[in-house]
Amino acid sequence: MATSSAEQRSEGAGLAQGPPRSLPCGAHRRRTKRAPILAAVRPVLHSLGMEVFSTTRFVVRQWQGDEQDARACFAIYSNEAVSRWLERPPYRALDQARAANLRQLERYTRLVGMGWWPITTRVDGEVIGQAALMPMDDEPGEVELGYHVRHDWWGRGVATEVARGAIAHARANLAGYRVVAVTRPHNTGSRRVMEKAGLLYEGATVFKGLESVKYGLP
């Protein structure tokens, strides 16, 4: 299945999210107090090679392989709505998320400037999805853009903002690679994200055995 598939339908189709949840007493103050601390920590994370790129609202970093990241990964992929667009079963056990994170850590040792990375919020560092730039197996000069967003963050423009950030990262760090994205033809929300990010429709294709559509930078 194409990797660009989790938030996308809701972002394009305006899926209702329901009324906003009220924060418990003191929660806003706690988040406000944490923001300066996170701002101070971010340069350290960047110097350690943990931060990959950032946008107005999000910081995309490397997975660390700890229990906190495993639980965050599980929260994304145990959701039925997310897994439906990925066309694979949802995670049922935390060990699946642990194994997925370890695979990403191994990829970091082989792929320079590429991989699957957690999307975190600037305000408190919460992991709310994944973004990716991965080499296309059958096209050596192309790198595939991917984005998966946790279900409760659908409809907030996360995929579009992060996709634009990933493209900027690729332009700055992956010279010689052209950014492309692939999704299923009926995933209209994902296709809108690709278009908003500046990718152009290139036609129908078969990707991982499935009928798909391909977009790419001009």
d(CA 89, CA 176): 35
Is a pLDDT exceeding 90 seen at residue 149?
A: yes
Mean pLDDT over residues 81-110, rounded?
A: 94
Tell me: the pLDDT tens digits for 165-211? 999 999 999 999 999 999 999 999 999 999 999 999 999 999 989 99
Output the pLDDT for position 35: 53
Place of tokens 């944490």: 34
Q: What is the mean pLDDT of residues 132-156?
A: 95
CATH superfamily of this structure's domain 8-216: Gcn5-related N-acetyltransferase (GNAT) (3.40.630.30)
Query: Which residue type does 8 have?
Result: Q
Sheet holding 58-61, edge to edge: 51-54, 58-61, 115-121, 127-136, 139-149, 178-183, 210-216, 200-207
Confidence (pTM):
0.79
Residue ranges of alpha helices (H) inside 5-157 are: 8-13, 27-47, 67-77, 80-86, 94-110
> Would the CA dihedral through 65, 66, 70, 73 be positive or negative?
negative
Given a cut of 60, is residue 18 above it in pLDDT? Answer: no
pLDDT at 139 over 60: yes
What is the pLDDT, as a whole number, of residue 55?
A: 98
pLDDT at 135: 96
The mean pLDDT of 138-162, rounded to a whole number, is 96
Report how far apart the first and last C-alpha atoms of the chain are (Å, whole number). Answer: 24
Instruction: Indicate the DSSP class of residue 63.
Output: -
Position 37 scores a pLDDT of 53
What are the phi and psi torsion angles at 42 (to 5°)?
-55, -45
Assigned token pair, 16: 């209702």
Mean per-residue pLDDT for 45-54? 70
Cα four-point dihedral sign 103, 106, 108, 111? negative
Q: Kindly list the domain boundaries of the chain, sorted by start residue.
A: 8-216
What is the rounded average pLDDT of the residues 36-53? 59
pLDDT at 138: 80
Strand partners, 182: 214
**Over residues 58-85, mean pLDDT:** 96
